[in-house]
């Protein structure tokens, strides 16, 4: 498992790691830098600790990088403070290639499941005869095709709500460049995994399986497969004798209430934005509560 250095990505691949290891008794290696292994472990929620203990966490140091706080005055709300970590992760290609060769000698077959944003790091899978790679997509199928449609102008057979905001200006050029770097290396993957279920997103999964969308170029690879694999968290167990105090607090709210939680860790909001959000919720006449961290 080769995750991308962002919490929503680290967490989902750790959930999948536990599912594969506990259900199929397959040794699973979670490959990233020590700081992000610590982050993933410290934010585990609901997973069986015994399943987590079965995972082999393989720590690979990255060069030092800056870690600035979120900027509430940034012209866009993309978490640009994480960019130094993302660019530092590009240095993992060489150590990963060495680790992959070691695994290919130890095991008859090696399957690499990686975040699409780590295609550069895992690209040497193509040179190992008994190894294959699959991209694990954290976002919904709907989000995926909306990005393809809006930003890459792929024609799709579904209509999008007119109220859907444009992606224009949402992603800085530095991040677009990082995304572009993954394009060529990702052509050698054997398939795609989506953290969704077909019963909910069948129309969008059908679009993603289209050859033009999925890049199923026969000159590169034949019959690239696409799977919807949710739920990956069906084995979650609550390890508390009594409810957590947060759940007790939630139980006291009326049905259909709106709870807005903002921790100020990834994306930061200005005071005027918080006030505007509170005003809109108040005018909606919906019972609402806000939790603001700093």
Q: What are the residue numbers of the active site?
A: 9, 115
Q: Who's near 86: CB < 8 A, 6+ residues apart?
A: 4, 5, 6, 117, 175, 178
**Contact present, 216 and 154 (Cβ < 8 Å):** no
CB 90 within 8 A of CB 102: no
Contacts of 198 (CB under 8 A, 6+ apart): 205, 228
How far is the CA of 191 from the CAs of 15, 21, 112, 194, 248, in angstroms? 19, 20, 11, 10, 42
Cα–Cα distance between 266 and 74 in angstroms, integer? 13
- Give CA torsion, residues 11, 15, 16, 21, to 10 deg: 130
Phi-psi category of residue 27: left, alpha or beta, with phi > 0 → left and psi -120 to 50 → alpha: beta
Q: Where are the alpha helices (DSSP H) in 57-188?
A: 83-88, 93-106, 119-122, 141-152, 173-181, 183-186
How many whole angstroms separate alpha carbon 201 and alpha carbon 74? 34
Per-residue CA distances from 212 to 140, 195, 266 (Å): 19, 21, 34
DSSP-derived pairing of the beta strands 191-194 and 131-137: parallel
Residue with tokens 């699973």: 28
């Amino acid at each position: 498992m080769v995750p991308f250095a962002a919490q929503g990505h680290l967490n989902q691949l750790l959930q999948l790691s536990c599912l594969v290891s506990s259900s199929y008794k397959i040794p699973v290696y979670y490959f990233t830098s020590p700081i992000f292994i610590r982050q993933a472990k410290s934010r585990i929620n609901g997973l069986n600790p015994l399943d987590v203990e079965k995972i082999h966490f393989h720590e690979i140091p990255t060069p030092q990088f800056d870690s600035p706080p979120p900027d509430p005055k940034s012209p866009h709300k993309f978490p640009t403070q994480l960019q130094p970590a993302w660019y530092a992760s590009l240095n993992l290609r060489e150590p990963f290639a060495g680790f992959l060769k070691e695994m290919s000698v130890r095991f008859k077959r090696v399957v690499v499941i990686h975040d699409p944003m780590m295609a550069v790091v895992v690209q040497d899978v193509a040179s190992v005869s008994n190894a294959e790679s699959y991209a694990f997509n954290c976002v919904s199928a709907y989000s995926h095709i909306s990005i393809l449609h809006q930003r890459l102008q792929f024609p799709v057979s579904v209509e999008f709500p007119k109220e859907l905001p444009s992606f224009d200006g949402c992603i800085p050029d530095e991040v677009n460049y990082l995304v572009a770097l993954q394009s060529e290396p990702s052509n050698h993957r054997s398939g795609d995994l989506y953290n969704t279920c077909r019963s909910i997103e069948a129309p969008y999964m059908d679009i993603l399986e289209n050859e033009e969308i999925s890049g199923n170029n026969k000159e590169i690879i034949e019959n690239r497969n696409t799977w919807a694999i949710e739920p990956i968290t069906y084995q979650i167990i609550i390890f508390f004798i009594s409810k957590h105090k947060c759940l007790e607090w939630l139980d006291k709210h009326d049905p259909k209430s709106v709870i807005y939680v903002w921790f100020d860790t990834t994306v930061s909001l200005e005071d005027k934005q918080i006030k505007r959000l509170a005003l809109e919720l108040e005018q909606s006449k919906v019972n609402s509560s806000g939790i603001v961290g700093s």
